[in-house]
Chains A and B, each alone.
Chain A
Amino acid sequence: MVDESSIKGTLKLIRDVVYKNLTNEYLPFPMDKALATKWAYEAGVPKGGRVILYTSYMYQMAPVFKSFEKLLPTVGSLARIGFLASLGSRLVKPSDAEVKRASTVLKNIYAITRASRPGVGYLYEEEPYSGALLYELGFIDEFKEYGKRLEEFFKIRGVEEIITADPHTTFSLANYKRLIGFSIPFKNYLELPPIGVTGKGRFVIHDSCIYSRFLNMYDLIRQLTKDAGLEIVDDEKVTGRGIGFCCGGPLGPLNSKISDEMAKARANSLKSVNPEALVFCPLCYENLSPYIPVKDFAEVISP
């Protein structure tokens, strides 16, 4: 049976702490921005611009988002004693290896984007979080409010087109468009022409639920991977569109035990098709990687 009181406790923290922090700082909790933006400094991405690559910190902070359930009570108690802002980078910090991996992924996504959007920029330390967590946890009204502020935020900075790097951010913008008429055009980087994208390896695809079943990218992703030279092994029983399985990520904030069990179950079924899996989402990577060798599409290709 669902643990009602634990759900209520988490939701209260999200509303009282995370939403408040989002309203004030455009971030769900304090983050080490130097770490999150390092990749862009290294790649020499222009600052700002009419077209921006919008990471919403998903690749950089995925390890933190995964341990959100464990993190929340601490964030909550620090917020209660007014300590949250001074927390800075100490609490929320991915490891060096994780930062390095995220950097490779984002540099490749940037390169793919730049091929069809020369001059694409990045907001660096100013970049706001997408608000995905609010929608996924049912804070629909708060999500809509935040979306209005976000649109304003981008418009003030002269942003005319947004290129997203992950499914959760893309879906947030799609939901803003649907719910509040978010008017800035956006595209996911996978929808851009894959100019010169090549890679190798044999994988079973673990579809992001959002990409395959909400943004209708199931076929596009298969085409893209094949065109890039990757060998894809599909099995209708495991990777079919209607029977695909979640990585467990969305349950993380509410129940990490079930979330982990789901990841393990998914990894086992993927293994029955191929020893190595390919993902397109930083949260899928975080959840599945303890149980099966996984690569992100953006780290097995060279643009």
Chain B
Amino acid sequence: MSWLELITRISTNNYLEVERILKSHPYVRDAAKRLRERKMAVIENLDDYVKATMESVSRIGGHAYLAKDKQEAREIVSKILGDKKLVVMSKTNAAYEVNLREFLISQGKEVWETDLGEFLVQITNGWPSHIIVPAVDMNRERAAKAIKAIDPGISENASIEELVAAVRRFLMSKYINADAGITGANAVAADTGAVILVENEGNIRMVTVKPQVHIALAGIDKIVPTLADAFDEAMVQAAYAGLYPPTYVNLTAGPSSTADIEHTRVSPATGPKEFHLVLIDDGRLEASKDPVLKEALLCIRCGRCYFSCPTYRLLGKDWISTKSPYNGPMGVMWNYITNDDPWPSFYCTHSGGCREVCPMGINIPDIISYIKGKGTKQV
């Protein structure tokens, strides 16, 4: 099956599935509307919310950092890790954005992606094709070939279930022995310092709980005012990604703790003894002050606009390629915000489908048009 046939099938299925979800759970649309307002309030006062979030994280016994750019983010994580060797990661675009995995590997660490799709991308030295389904361009045959490299016992004719089980076996030993777990964040609540993560595989549970150190990486655009908003974001993101209900929603607010003896809260308990939140600016603060670009910061990374986009459906990951983990219409905006690169915008045909399907009602075509305008000024 060609890329175009595959992505057309996936796109139409996703479109219809999200429509079905929204019809059967109308409260999701209400939550999306509410969330847009709450996120906009943060964007309008991003500096203050960053400060409040960092204070909240400290209050719950965690450590918070603000990285102004990619290099600073890498350095902060590297310092936290020190001489820890084995690192497990859950799918995080922020880590891709700052090129963290490659950097840690170059420092001699053993680093494993644990999301199945991301794991396949890693072991094939590939690049994610989609923010929610990174290995969307990989069929069973190619996956089997790739997995055989880490599990020679696997036949190239193995079923999808057998392939998943092989990866599970392989990663289990990594979870058990990992020194640190690195995740992203779907939302970070400013009032509590809590991080919310949505998933289906269960790998994030392992990554956030099993190693003794949990590092969460998040763009400052992921900050929402309260924990209630963070749960809204989890719900809306999962629904618009077409995976509803999500199998798991994880909440992490500081290191593990217990108050079982004399009702005195002590830390750590069973889970990690350290919790670190690395907030990443990387162009976001500047974008929040731009009257047009700021709307792009509302994006909750549901990935739905990819499927509505003719250019993405034709070019796939080649559109923005390894310049950025973000692709499709949102990728045009985010590649500009984080890399100051306007050129992919010129392949946008202004079909307008992205705006129709975006849960945050982002006027994506207008923003892309604005980015094109930035490009024309450079010729």
Contact at B11–A243, with CB atoms within 8 Å?
Answer: yes
CB atoms of A243 and B4 under 8 A apart: no
A255 interfacial contact with B, CB 8 Å = yes
In angstroms, Cα B365 to Cα A140, docked, is 13
Q: Tell me, rounded to whole Å, the shortest Cβ–Cβ distance linking B17 to chain A.
A: 12
Smallest CB separation, A143 vs chain B (Å): 9
Interface string of A147-168 (1 = CB under 8 A from B): 0000000000000000000000
Residues A2 and B370 in contact, CB atoms below 8 Å apart: no
B contact residues around A11 at 8 Å (CB): 346, 375-376, 379
Are A262 and B310 in contact, with the CB atoms below 8 A?
Answer: yes
Residue of B whose beta carbon sits closest to that of A139: B376
Q: Are B346 and A15 in contact (CB under 8 A)?
A: no
Pick the contact of A241: B11, B314, B356 (CB < 8 A): B356
In the complex, the chain A residue whose C-beta lies closest to that of B318 is A1
Pairwise interchain contact B308-A243, C-beta atoms closer than 8 A: yes
When the two chains form their complex, are residues A254 and B347 in contact, meaning their CB atoms are under 8 A apart? yes
A136 on the B face (CB < 8 A): yes
Known contacts A1-B321, A140-B373, A242-B15; is A214 also within 8 Å of B346 by CB?
A: no
Could you tell me the distance between the alpha carbons of A245 and B314 in the complex, rounded to whole angstroms? 11
**Are B313 and A7 in contact (CB-based, < 8 A)?**
no
Closest to B342 in A: A138
Closest to A242 in B: B356
Q: How many residues of B contact A (CB 8 A)?
A: 41
Q: Given the complex, which residues of B lie within 8 Å of A250, measured CB to CB?
A: 349-350
For A, the interface residue count at a CB cutoff of 8 angstroms equals 43
B11 to A137, Cβ gap below 8 A?
no
In this assembly, does B355 line the interface, its C-beta being within 8 Å of a C-beta of chain A? yes
CB–CB B310/A243 < 8 A: no
Q: Which residues of B contact A12 (CB under 8 A)?
A: 379
Q: In the bound complex, what is the Cα–Cα distance between A261 and B315 (angstroms)?
A: 10
**Is B308 in contact with A242, judged by CB distance below 8 angstroms?**
yes
Q: Which residues 4-26 in B have Cβ within 8 Å of A in the complex?
A: 4, 8, 11-12, 15-16
Nearest A residue to B373 via CB reads: A140
Main secondary structure of the interface of A (DSSP, over half): helix
Q: Is B351 an interface residue (CB 8 A)?
A: yes
Knowing A236-B16, A258-B315, the reply to whether A209 touches B11 (Cβ < 8 A) is no
A4 contacts the other chain (CB 8 A): yes
In the bound complex, CA of A227 to CA of B310 (Å): 30
Q: A266 → chain B, closest Cβ, in Å?
A: 8
Please, which residues of chain B bring their CB within 8 A of the CB of A258? 311, 314-315, 347
A15-B376, A213-B355 known; A140 vs B370 contact (CB < 8 Å): yes
A255 pairs with B347, CB closer than 8 A: yes
Interface residues in chain A, defined as those with a beta carbon under 8 Å from any beta carbon in chain B: 1-2, 4, 7-8, 11-12, 15, 135-142, 209-210, 212-214, 236-238, 240-246, 248-251, 254-255, 258, 261-262, 265-266, 269
User: Which residues of B are at the interface with A, using a C-beta cutoff of 8 A?
Assistant: 4, 8, 11-12, 15-16, 307-308, 310-311, 313-315, 318-321, 323, 343-347, 349-353, 355-357, 365, 369-373, 375-376, 378-379
Known contacts A213-B355, A242-B353, A243-B12; 5 further A-B pairs (Cβ under 8 A) = A1-B319, A137-B376, A138-B345, A250-B349, A251-B347
